[in-house]
Structure 1
Amino acid sequence: MIRQLSLQPKRQGLHEFTDKVQTLVRDSGVREGLCTLFVRHTSCSLLIQENADPTAKSDLERWLNRLVPEHDELYEHTLEGADDMPAHIKAALTAVSLSIPVIDGGLALGTWQGIYLWEHRHHPGSRTVLVHLTT
């Protein structure tokens, strides 16, 4: 079974959507299997990360922005703005898909784990995440 989630991030950064995926899994009736997520864009990525302390999120965001800065003179791909090429590099360094086991009808995430869309653009549009559930 494949479902599609439409996410509307308003800014660059980590945006949790664990609840949306949990609801899809619960409503699917799948008791045991695998949930695979795939984001259909080249300037954002997916991440499983701590969802208890918001400073973990902000530290990750600042670290990646320092690692891949905007306005680097090496970039040739600049027609879509100063954040575009860094967004592609950030997506290449992170992940566009995740696999999470389904046990007893729910995602087998750890206590402090959440699922995030990591938006790498400052003014993104709608983002599409495919959710594939298998038994």
Structure 2
Amino acid sequence: MTILNQLIEVETEQGINIYNITPQIEALIASTSIQNGQVLVFSRHTTTALAINENEERLLEDVKVFLRKLAPESERYLHNDLHLRVVPEDEPMNAHSHLMAMMLSTSEVIPIVDGKLALGTYQSVLFFELDGPRKRTVFCQISGENIVLSRH
């Protein structure tokens, strides 16, 4: 079995944004000889997340509204009492972003079949920025076999 580790870099914009990183993952897989296996996609930040869902503009706007209702930025959060803890000078008041991230997921595992992601028709791998703008990285671990299995 082969195991390869790669990073995807995402430059994000202000606020809550959702990025389709499926093409970057597909490119990583295409650059390997792995035909059958899986890819682990892992968000390396506490205010970002991942999900597999439909990459449809109006749905993504609905998701942003839903997340803002779950953890409104205007609420009072203990994490935002920056004067009560040791923090860097540029530390944002971002408790709401941490809470949103906890309601989502930090990773997804997607099968690779015949060198391609085995996603369904409307499925995409979505990266959620909940506290942008930032430079982010997504860790991808591709594992599997370099052979094509024959189908009988």
Which residue in 1 is equivalent to 2:92?
81
Q: 1:48 aligns with which of 41, 49, 52?
A: 52
Which residue in 2 is equivalent to 1:126?
135
Query: 2: CA distance between counterparts of 1:86 and 1:43?
Result: 9
What residue identity is the alignment partner of 2:139?
L
Query: 2: CA distance between counterparts of 1:37 and 1:55?
Result: 25
Instruction: Report how far residue 33 of structure 1 moved.
Output: 0.1
TM-score by length of 2: 0.82
Question: What is the DSSP-based 3-state SS (H/G/I as helix, E as strand, rest coil) of the residue aligned with 1:119?
Answer: strand
What residue identity is the alignment partner of 2:68?
N
Provide the aligned C-alpha RMSD in A. 1.1
TM-score by length of 1: 0.92
Question: Among the aligned pairs, what percent are the same residue?
Answer: 29
Which protein shows a greater Rg?
Answer: 2
Alignment of 1:1-135 (within 5 A): 1-11=4-14, 12-51=16-55, 53-73=56-76, 75-78=77-80, 79=82, 80-82=91-93, 84-121=94-131, 123-135=132-144
Question: What is the DSSP-based 3-state SS (H/G/I as helix, E as strand, rest coil) of the residue aligned with 1:91?
Answer: helix
Query: 1: CA distance between counterparts of 2:130 and 2:13?
Result: 11
Instruction: Report how far residue 29 of structure 1 moved.
Output: 1.3
| Total equivalences in the alignment | 131
Report runs of 4+ in structure 1 exceeding 4 Å deviation.
Answer: none
Which residue in 1 is equivalent to 2:87?
none
Gaps of 5+ in 2: 83-90, 145-152
Instruction: Report how far residue 26 of structure 1 moved.
Output: 1.1
Q: Deviations over 1:89-133 (max 9, x none)?
A: 111111011000000101111111111111111x32111111001
Question: What is the DSSP-based 3-state SS (H/G/I as helix, E as strand, rest coil) of the residue aligned with 1:86?
Answer: helix
Query: 2: CA distance between counterparts of 1:95 and 1:61?
Result: 15
What residue identity is the alignment partner of 1:5?
I
